[in-house]
A and B are shown apart, each in its own frame.
Chain A
Amino acid sequence: SYELTQPPSVSVSPGQTASITCSGSKLGDRFACWYQQKPGQSPVLVIYEDFKRPSGIPERFSGSNSGNTATLTISGTQAVDEADYYCQAWDGNVVFGGGTKLTVL
């Protein structure tokens, strides 16, 4: 079965750029999307079809996808961005990455 691999944790200082990767075989041949989940809340879509932002998502969130890796980039990271982030793709059925805890410190 298809698998998506994310680093368990990423740390970033406020105002700096955070990059969260998602790896999977030929992931660049598929669309990837990203969800943000804060403690006790439901997930929120932040990036879809590799780089598109839903309305209401700040411009500091961006995405890319090439080769075997999709990347979520948060520019000028703020304390409110501290959350778990999940990548997701499709391979016959829906597959989620294991999630990355982003710490802003």
Chain B
Amino acid sequence: EVQLVVSGGGLVQPGRSLRLACEASGFTFDDFAMHWVRQAPGKGLEWVSGINWNSGSIDFADSVKGRFTISRDNAKNSLFLQMNSLRTEDTAFYYCVKDLGQQQLVFDYWGQGTLVTVSS
């Protein structure tokens, strides 16, 4: 059974940093691209960032480019999102998401969302 367990959310002040982690199990982690997708409370889905199996291809949404970084540790079946210079508009549930393949950009498994609240 595929499981994606996310940790690291919480309340943070504007301008500060936060790091999310996602621990994957139930599949061969380094066979698949991984992504982060977020959803502001009561709003729609927004893709944030994606990384291919060997970290050789990384993309970001324009809204987070230059502030967020994505990384993965295949030895530990883990995905990370480092969020710097956080803004109030970054407040959202953040989902760790598995790609159907190697950057097919189809999201076949979603972890539970972790809430990041950016507020003073």
Whether A associates with B in a native complex is yes
Which residues in A have some Cβ–Cβ distance to B below 8 Å? 1, 31, 33, 35, 42-45, 48-49, 54, 86, 88, 90, 93-99
| Structural contact, B44 and A42, CB atoms closer than 8 A | no
> Which residues from B are CB-within-8-Å of A94?
35, 47, 50, 105
Given contacts A42-B113, A93-B61, A94-B47, contact A35 B108 (CB under 8 A): no
Which positions 106-120 of chain B face chain A at CB distance < 8 Å?
Answer: 106-113
Q: Which residue of B45, B50, B112 is within 8 Å of A99 (Cβ)?
A: B45
Which residues in B have some Cβ–Cβ distance to A below 8 Å? 35, 44-47, 50, 59, 61-62, 95, 100, 105-113
| Structural contact, B59 and A93, CB atoms closer than 8 A | yes
> Which residues from A are CB-within-8-Å of B44?
86, 96-99
| Structural contact, B45 and A96, CB atoms closer than 8 A | yes
> Which residues from A are CB-within-8-Å of B111?
42
Q: Which residue of A44, A49, A98, A99 is within 8 Å of B106 (Cβ)?
A: A49
> Which residues from B are CB-within-8-Å of A42?
95, 110-113
Given contacts A42-B113, A45-B106, contact A86 B45 (CB under 8 A): yes
Min CB–CB distance B63 → chain A (angstroms) = 11
> Which residues from A are CB-within-8-Å of B61?
93
> Which residues from A are CB-within-8-Å of B100?
45, 48
A-B contacts, 11 listed (Cβ < 8 Å): A1-B62, A42-B111, A45-B106, A45-B109, A86-B44, A88-B106, A93-B59, A93-B61, A97-B44, A98-B44, A99-B45
A-B pairs, top 5 by smallest CB distance, nearest first, are A94-B47, A42-B110, A96-B45, A48-B106, A99-B44
What is the bound-complex CA distance between A86 and B44, given in angstroms?
A: 8
> Which residues from B are CB-within-8-Å of A96?
44-47
> Which residues from A are CB-within-8-Å of B46?
96
Min CB–CB distance B24 → chain A (angstroms) = 14
| Structural contact, B108 and A54, CB atoms closer than 8 A | yes
| Structural contact, B108 and A45, CB atoms closer than 8 A | yes
> Which residues from A are CB-within-8-Å of B112?
42
What is the bound-complex CA distance between A96 and B59, given in angstroms?
A: 16
What is the bound-complex CA distance between A93 and B59, given in angstroms?
A: 8
